[in-house]
Amino acid sequence: MTGASFLHSLMTPKSIAILGASNNPMKMGTMHALSILNDGFAGNFYPVHPTEKTILGHKAYPSPKDLPETPDLAIFVLPAKHLLPLFEAFGEIGTQYAIIITAGYKETGAAGAREEEELLDVARKYGIRFIGPNCMGIINREVSLNTTVVPMRGKPGKLGFISQSGTYVAQTIPYLEKRGIHYSKAFSLGNEADVNIIDVLEYLGEDDQTGAISMYIETIRDVPRFLEVAGRITPHKPVIAQYVGGSEAGARAGLSHTGALAGKDYLYDGLFRQAGVIRVVSVEELYNLGVALAEQPRIKGNRIAILTNSGGPGSAMADTCERLGCRVPPFSQAFQEQIRPLVPSHAPCGNPVDLTFSMDPSLMTDTLADMIMKSGEVDGLIMHGAMSTGFMKAVHPNVAQLMPDLSLSDMVAQMQKDLSETVNRPFKNGIPVTVSSFFDRDDQYTREFEDNGIPVFDGPEKAARAMAAMVSYHDIQKRPAQSQPALPEIAQNAKQIIEKAINNQQNALDEFAAKQLLAAYGIPVPKERVVNSPDELCAALEKFFFPLVLKASHPEILHKTEKGLVFLNIETPEAARRAYTAIQDRAGDSVPVLIGEMIQGEREFLAGVADDAQFGQCVAFGVGGVLTEALTDIVYRVAPITDAQAAHMLSDIRTTKLLESYRGMPAVDRASMADLISRLSQIPFIHPEIREIDINPIIISQSSPLVADALVLLK
């Protein structure tokens, strides 16, 4: 197909030159060449070698300038010390694309990084786009192109795969073939000196052959672009990601592996949620959930039916589904009455439907499955126990003792049947199906399910997790379209507050100034006043209702509570005067004091925005007050965000119950809270002098959020 990405051309070369191949089958370059030749590449193939005359039956050429034509793609599998002049020679003859398998660049340290930069300089000079270095190549099943070291078998699939590890593209090919999983396109990217993971994501988003995209990630070097590209793709195509690097050990491994600089795990989690990317925890799920999303019909809701021949797997699937946000609703009485005559008298038929080891697999896979899909009561179906020939092979030794004339081949042949209608049923009915079975492709059901786009898992929980991923993607598709908020005009009083602080060489604003800055952008703050003497205090007391709060308000005092500079629930003027005196004594100097009415409310949240070296400005929301450290229930997004994106953050915290009607308290005004978070996320973009804003706590008064304390740090 054609599209905006230059990778459409790189992935469909009409001619390939390879450097590093020979007639020695144990050389890595030869393995890459054999995959190209034996997996069906139909274009011209040119080995380049300084001494060999022929390689793998093809004429070899001593240098790029001796080639009979300019190849579209050059592949380098030779030592780094020999590579640069040959790379430049291809540039001189006009080759536009390259794959550099060779390692030994920035993943090895500073010297390697300099050599990688020299490669990039040559590429820019001649307009070459290249993948690598330190990668394992690409796969394009649409044109039978495989440049990895492992041959591919089987028909093309619909799963696009992007990896910052070569192993997960090449070494896993036999593993995937045994599970009926096949790529549409696959990329090993290595160090990403030129072509990066976002370039490939954008390309696969355009690719008609690819139904879903799985990504193994060690770092994202351009967070804003990733957010924009992924946010554009995920409404119409599922994207799944595993991020490795959030731990100290993972970060060290990534740096030595591909030169990847890892980032904070919680920020990656927020980034994926914001972009509509489904995060998984293992490479196995990248493949298994990826193929389910790539091959199966799109689910239309979260109602899941479970059809099993064993109670244990049925219970495990039901439990996993409900824990992951799906529903396993009981069937209507009318539908149960339709099912009851078809199942054993003791078998439950209310959902799950348990056939209790029925020896007629077609009852499950054909009769009941079709009824359930057509019932209108479910959106997806999970089955466990569809088995035939594999089961017969397992029990034949025992059966043969009673029937010695029954050969294994005869026994298996009796179980073979036409499953064409069975495997087409999910697509005909538009209902996705996942299957759990303990029998692999040796069983006809498993083999034909997998070969026809119905994923089979070796455990009931895995089949349920795949169905839950489909439901998650359905929820992603319902979200509002990704957009950037329009920033408000600069508030002049906020500008003056910051300029005054900078002129005073402050690193932070005092609390009163911080709240006035927030208020300038519509963030709700309480009525407060700063006093600088006992007389001003006495005058201020006449303007407020008790109980009151008194606290120090000074730009150099950032942690007031720990220093005993906050007094709450002050009930009398005398108590206020004592608190004022105590603040001056404990501060050790004359400090301004903030006076205000106590905010009445029992629920406390926090919000903040801070600058991260990799992600830029990020906004946070979570449970605040004294429970902040105990619960660590905080979610993050890349700023700035819209009200709709902020509302999604509210639903992401674990303790969402606190936002609902709770212990006689009304539900939190979610629209007001989302508005607060959205406005907060925009402030550092209006005032780039701001490094960090911390609002904690936000107290819920009645149902509305009100900022009780705020800290603003300056760059």
Rg value, the chain, Cα: 32
* Residues in Cβ contact with 300 at an 8 Å cutoff, skipping those fewer than 6 apart: 379, 430, 474
Asked whether this chain's domains 296-478 and 527-597 adopt the same fold, the reply is no
* Residue 431 banded pLDDT, cuts 50, 70, 90: very high
- Find the range with the poorest average confidence among 150-154, 259-263, 438-442, 467-471: 259-263
**Separation of alpha carbons 620 and 615, rounded Å:** 13
* Residue 248 banded pLDDT, cuts 50, 70, 90: low
Q: Is the pLDDT of residue 646 over 80?
A: yes
**Separation of alpha carbons 370 and 31, rounded Å:** 47
Q: What is the mean pLDDT of the chain?
A: 93
Q: Is the pLDDT of residue 643 over 80?
A: yes
Residue with tokens 């590579």: 83
- Give the number of other CB atoms < 10 A from CB of residue 279: 16
Residue with tokens 């070296």: 613
**Separation of alpha carbons 605 and 625, rounded Å:** 7
pLDDT for 252? 41
Say which CATH superfamily domain 7-293 falls into: Succinyl-CoA synthetase domains (3.40.50.261)
pLDDT for 263? 67
CATH number at 296-478:
3.40.50.261
Q: Where are the domains of the chain?
A: 7-293, 296-478, 485-526+599-715, 527-597
Percent of the chain with pLDDT over 70: 97
Say which CATH superfamily domain 527-597 falls into: ATP-grasp fold, A domain (3.30.1490.20)
E strands in 125-206: 129-131, 137-140, 145-146, 159-163, 183-188
Percent of the chain with pLDDT over 90: 86
**Separation of alpha carbons 592 and 468, rounded Å:** 55
Q: Is the pLDDT of residue 251 over 60?
A: no
485-526+599-715 has CATH 3.30.470.20 classification: yes
> pLDDT tens digits for 111-163?
999 999 999 999 999 999 999 999 999 999 999 999 999 999 888 999 999 99
